[in-house]
Amino acid sequence: MSGAYLAPQTNDPFNSIPPAKARAIREGVQHFARVLLTATFVEDAYRIVVDYNSQMRFLTVQRGLWWSAATMVLLCSVVAQFGGSIALIANRYLAPAISSMSAVLLLQTVCYGYLFDVSFFIRNISVIGSLCVLFANEQQKEVRNNPFNGAFNLGGGSRLTYMQLVSRVLVALLFLSLIGGHWTWMRIVGGVVVALPVTAIVLGYKARSSAAVLAVFLLIANVAMNGFFWYPAHHPERDFLKYYFFQTLTVTGGLLVLTEMGAGGLSLDERNKDI
């Protein structure tokens, strides 16, 4: 009987902590991760509600959408993002919630004219990857809790295994945004610091510890690089930094989920277990 999903977790950053305390900390981290995952969606939906007229003018005047089409875009965005965020935190209806939230990201990328903005597109794809990490994690838990449902017999060729691989690669894409822009000393240091753990996550080597390191790094770097609250209310860069700030919080949530899930079957961690 294959042990691809039933083997004990290794490379756990909580291994040195007593089991009961580690379990409580892990549960707290995962609840915090779900809240972070919703950050960019709640902020964007709130922005649409309070700034609805400006959003409508942009879509209809600058983007040339019909009034009815612009209305549908904004309405779907608000409903899908608020509703999906509630579902994520409640851990209910994850598949439709994640699908609708991902669809809204892609819809906004097209409607707001950012399809060919490489940095913007990569960040949105990374956010979708973070949502996929959560879904894969819940699927993995279901397989472990119901080992005789046949899913574990699929081994490395299962949809879950490939989903774990794709989701962690998509999350790692966020760090490509460090390459763009002006090469400040902070950007150079950040790129060097994250290069090894990002590569480790993609390859699935000590993925849980690497994800924990990157999550802590992002929480700190996000304030330093995207701290919109340091800027005056009408500063031209404030809105962009605010958007990036909440996007980065969402990806940080995906990394925190990854600390529980691990790399999955297609990884160096899993290969080392087999050896």
Extract the tokens encoding 28.
């707290």
Contacts of 108 (CB under 8 A, 6+ apart): 44, 73, 77, 114
**Better-predicted residue by pLDDT, 187 or 215:** 215
pLDDT for 139 beyond 90: no
| Cβ atoms 268, 203 nearer than 8 A | yes
Q: What is the arithmetic mean of pLDDT over 3-8?
A: 40
**Better-predicted residue by pLDDT, 269 or 197:** 197
Q: What is the pLDDT of residue 182?
A: 60
Q: How confident is the model at residue 4 (pLDDT cuts 50, 70, 90)?
A: very low
Percent of the chain at pLDDT > 90 equals: 44
Q: How confident is the model at residue 148 (pLDDT cuts 50, 70, 90)?
A: low
Q: How confident is the model at residue 224 (pLDDT cuts 50, 70, 90)?
A: confident
Q: What is the pLDDT of residue 144?
A: 75
pLDDT for 246 beyond 80: yes
Q: Where are the domains of the chain?
A: 19-274
| Per-residue model confidence as pLDDT tens digits over 33-66 | 999 999 999 999 999 999 999 999 999 999 999 9
Q: How confident is the model at residue 153 (pLDDT cuts 50, 70, 90)?
A: very low
pLDDT for 152 beyond 50: no
Q: What is the arithmetic mean of pLDDT over 245-258?
A: 94
Q: What is the arithmetic mean of pLDDT over 171-193?
A: 70
Q: What is the arithmetic mean of pLDDT over 229-242?
A: 86
pTM of the model: 0.84
Q: What is the pLDDT of residue 132?
A: 93
Q: What is the pLDDT of residue 149?
A: 54
Q: What is the pLDDT of residue 65?
A: 94
Q: What is the arithmetic mean of pLDDT over 219-248?
A: 88
CB atoms within 10 A of CB 106: 14
